[in-house]
Amino acid sequence: MNTNLIGVIAILVLSVSLAIPLGRYMAKVYRGDKVWTDFIGPLERLIYRLGGVNPQEEMSWQRFLRALLTINLLWFVYGFVILLFQGALPFNPDGNPNMTPDLAFNTVISFVVNCNLQHYSGETGLSYLSQVFVVMFFQFVSAATGMAALAGVYKAMQEKQSGTIGNFYTYFVRSITRVLLPLSIVVAVALAASGTPMTADGKINLTTLQGIEQSISQGPAAAMIAIKQLGTNGGGFFGVNSAHPLENPNFFTNIVQTVSIVLIPIAMVFALGYYLRRKRLSWIIFGVMSLGFLVFVVGTILAETAGNPAISAMGIDQSLGSMEGKEVRIGAEASALWGIATTATSNGSVNAMHDSMTPISGFLQLLDMMINALYGGVGVGLLNYYIFMIVAVFISGLMVGRTPELLGKKVEIREMKIATLITLLHPFLILVGTALSSYMVVHHADIAWAVKPGNWLNNPGNHGFSEMLYEYTSAAANNGSGFEGLGDNNFFWNFSTGIVLIMGRYLPIIGPVAIAGLLANKQFIPESSGTLRVDTPTFGLMTFAVIFIVAALSFFPALALGPLAEYFALGH
């Protein structure tokens, strides 16, 4: 076994080892139990007073969602104004210009919804003011929004019968002060100590070994990188994200960042078990997610270490694997792991260029985002899995001739309608968006408010189709990574993906919270000998089958036209 594979295994073991105690701690935070961070209480009470919030007040699921959506709307307006006028605002030592309205629209939506789909180039597209007070701020609050929504579902699942699911603002503030902020400080210090810049200075001028003068961007990067990974945000301070040697200097920082990507999503699975006092249930969910995750990791590592046959045919040595678009300091194996971790968790950061990976790796990364429930983003990944559980419970109930029940609550037609709509929404957004962009390319639609298609699709054929499919998949999954051969900074892509970002974020939050609230209000039915237990391996496998059947039926035709066709075209 080579050293790089040992590093991959160490990352996976370390992630789970840290996630279990973190999950126990998070369950206590959301239950309101005593924890070591209680010293932050006075600061939280000040925040509640300033915001006019009563943290003890319980909310119905309708009021919970109104609070969530209203505060997100206010953030959108705030960020949009700053990006439009950042060139004239202070804290801009490099003199970066204002954003165009369509780019500001896309960027603000992207960061508010925890996607960080960056149609701008990081260090040249934003001022330091925008990086810190828009982008980094949104990375905290968008992550906390998803975590608060899941905490409300925890509360609803715990109740025997209740018309309330907790207080959104309490869960939201605690997610930042008790979880995201402490962890971000630890990770930021580790990154800064390893060479990642943390400064307010502008560009520095250096002379390379070849005698060429270069201006190197720097800035307060370490702090932003910490929350971008921990909050499954993924937006890079620098344009090439964590492939940049200042953003991810060495293999140690690569380990820290990879663990940070999956840490909270895995911890929230274990937090469910501790919160409900059903640890067996959390292990079953973790097992289902991990089974899919590991299959994807192994497949990607095998594809990347085997190399590209087209490059081998040119006589180029690929003993290190397929290294196109990768950093030698990181290697093919760690790049493959990151590629699956970042698409499994709706993180979207990259330490290698996904557009340059082999077709099978691209296929698995796309499928990862299409499923969007193998760990998933902080909070929302488990919300997506919750929808699959509802569908699996309903199908299982029909198979055995019983009324479907989830943790003592009957799943009826109203809940199934919501679950079905949310399940169908994801493929609808991806496939309709891809079909629209494909039509424009084929028919060369020359629309006054969009550039000609030839200017934004640089690769013809199957790979060009994959680039468009990836863009909408990434937007719908709130992921943010991309196949960068696509020229996406124009009105068409900024506006169309912006709409997909909004619908792909909020409807999958509204649906599970609504279902959980409806179930919480129903009469509790004690378990009996005929009760379908959801904390068994059998039900876990049933949920696994539902996830992959839905993904296969919805997306296989599009995947066959893109990465799979490209794979066979290489002579496999």
Please report the DSSP string for 4-25 in residue order: HHHHHHHHHHHHHHHHHHHHHH
Long-range contacts: 553-558, Cβ < 8 Å, 24+?
Answer: 554/370, 554/426, 554/427, 554/431, 555/366, 555/367, 555/370, 555/427, 555/430, 555/431, 558/430, 558/431, 558/434, 558/469
Stretch 376-386: mean pLDDT? 93
Give the position of tokens 């018309």: 163
494 to 25, 318, 490: CA distances (angstroms): 40, 38, 6
Confidence of residue 361 (pLDDT cuts 50, 70, 90): very high
Residue among 396, 385, 411 at smallest CA distance from 532: 396
Round to whole Å and give the CA distance between 413 and 27: 31
Backbone angles phi, psi at 80, to 5 degrees: -60, -45
- Tokens 């891809």 sit on residue: 434
Contact assessment for residue 26 and residue 271, using Cβ atoms and an 8 Å cutoff? yes
Tell me the pLDDT tens digit for each residue of 24-78: 999 999 999 999 999 999 999 999 999 999 999 999 999 999 999 999 999 999 9
Please give the angle made by the CA atoms of 529, 160 and 538, to the nearest 5 degrees: 40
pTM: 0.94
What's the confidence (pLDDT) of residue 454?
47
Q: What value does the mean pLDDT take over residues 104-110? A: 94
Nearest to 490 by CA among 101, 90, 134: 101
- What single string gives the DSSP state of each residue in 182-219? HHHHHHHHHHHHTT--B-S---EEEE-TTS-EEEE---
Sign for the CA dihedral angle at 384, 502, 513, 37 comes to positive
Nearest Cα to 296, choosing from 2, 10, 12, 6? 12
| Model confidence at 202: pLDDT above 80 | no
The span from the CA of 276 to the CA of 282, in Å, is 9
Q: How sure is the predictor about 208, in pLDDT bands with cuts at 50, 70 and 90?
A: confident
Mean pLDDT confidence for 438-450: 63
Asked if residue 192 has pLDDT above 60, the reply is yes
143 in Cβ contact with 231 (< 8 Å): yes
Measured over the CA atoms of residue 211, residue 215, residue 219 and residue 222, the dihedral's sign is negative
Angle at 97 between CA 91 and CA 102, to 5 degrees: 120
Contact present, 501 and 110 (Cβ < 8 Å): yes
Does 457 or 247 have the greater pLDDT score? 247
Amino acid at residue number 101: P
> In angstroms, rounded to a whole number, what is the distance separating the alpha carbons of residues 321 and 533?
45
* pLDDT > 90: percent of the chain: 70
Question: What's the rounded mean pLDDT across residues 507-513?
Answer: 95
Average pLDDT of the chain, as a whole number: 90
Could you read off the pLDDT of 281-291 as tens digits, one per residue? 999 999 999 99
Q: How many CB atoms lie within 10 A of CB 443?
A: 9
- Tell me which of 108-112, 215-219, 382-386 is least confident: 215-219
> Measured over all CA atoms, what is the biggest interatomic distance in the chain, rounded to whole angstroms?
78
State the pairing for strand pair 405-406/213-216. unpaired
Closest CA to 502 of 67, 72, 71, 74: 72
CA 313 to chain centre: 37
- Burial class of 455 by CB neighbour count within 10 A (0 to 12, 13 to 18, 19+): exposed
The residues with which 405 forms a beta bridge, in sequence order, are 410
Dihedral sign for Cα 538, 543, 548, 553, please: positive
Rg (CA), the chain: 23
Contact by Cβ (8 Å): 538, 413: no
Q: How far apart are CA 514 and CA 287, in angstroms?
A: 26
| Secondary structure E strands in 208-307 | 213-216
Provide the 8-state DSSP code for 406.
E
Mean pLDDT of 412-434: 94
| pLDDT given at position 213 | 83
Q: Calculate the CA 306 to chain-centre distance.
A: 28
* Number of residues that make up the chain: 572
Predicted confidence band of residue 453 (pLDDT cuts 50, 70, 90): very low
pLDDT at 448: 43
513 has pLDDT over 90: yes
